[in-house]
Chains A and B, each alone.
Chain A
Amino acid sequence: MSMAAVATTPSGYLLVLAIMWPVVGILISFVAGGRNIARVASIVLPVGFAIALAVLIAVVRDEQSQIYVVGSWAPPLGIALRADGISAAMMMTTAIVMCATGFFAHGEFDQSPGLPEARAPLVFWILLFAIWSALNALVLGSDLFNLYVALELLTFAAVPLVCLKGQKETIEAALRYMLFALIGSVLYLLGVVLIYGAYGTLDLGLLAERVRMEPAAWIAASLMTVGLLAKTALFPLHLWLPPAHAGAPPPGSALLSALVVKGSFFLIVRIWFDAMPGLLSVAAAQLLAALGAGAILVGSVLALRQQRLKLLIAYSTIAQIGYLFFIFPLAAGPPVGMDWSGQAWTGGWLQLFSHAFAKAAMFMAAGLIAEALGHDRIADLDGVGRKLPITMLAFALSGLSLVGVPPSGGFVAKALLLVATVVEGQWWWGVVIVVGGLLAGGYIFMVLGKLLATPHVPLTLQDTVSRPREIAALFLAICAILLGFVPLQPSELLQIGR
Chain B
Amino acid sequence: MNTATLFGLCSAALVGLGLFGIIVDPQPLRKILAFNLLGCGVFLLFGVVARRGAEAGLQADPVPQALVITGIVVAFAATAVAVALVLRLFSMSEETELGAEATSKMEAEGDHS
Residues of A within 8 A of B (CB): 77, 145, 148-149, 152, 155-156, 159-160, 163, 167-169, 171-176, 178-179, 181-183, 185-186, 189-190, 192-194, 196-197, 200, 239, 242-243, 246-247, 306-308, 311, 370-371, 373-377
Contact = CB atoms under 8 A, between A and B. Distances in A.
Going nearest first, the 9 A-B pairs with the smallest beta carbon separation are A197-B49, A370-B112, A243-B102, A175-B85, A182-B35, A193-B45, A168-B92, A152-B74, A178-B82
Given A171-B88, A185-B78, A377-B110, A197 B39 contact: no
Contact of B112 (A155, A182, A200, A375): A375
B111 A374 contact: yes
A188 B104 CA distance: 31
Interface residues of B, number: 47
B77 A156 contact: yes
Contact of B85 (A171, A189, A196, A197): A171
B19 to A, nearest CB: 8
29 contacts: A145-B67, A148-B74, A149-B70, A152-B74, A159-B85, A163-B85, A163-B88, A172-B98, A172-B99, A175-B82, A175-B85, A175-B98, A178-B81, A179-B22, A179-B31, A179-B32, A182-B22, A182-B32, A183-B35, A185-B78, A186-B39, A200-B53, A242-B102, A242-B103, A246-B103, A247-B106, A306-B107, A311-B103, A376-B112
Interface in B23-60: 23, 28, 31-32, 35, 38-39, 41-42, 45-46, 48-49, 52-53
Contacts of A192: 67
B8 to A, nearest CB: 9
B31 to A, nearest CB: 5
Given A183-B35, A197-B52, A311-B106, A175 B86 contact: yes
Contacts of A306: 107
A254 to B, nearest CB: 16
Contacts of A173: 102
Given A196-B64, A197-B52, A243-B106, A176 B39 contact: no
Nearest to B96: A175
B47 to A, nearest CB: 10
A224 to B, nearest CB: 12
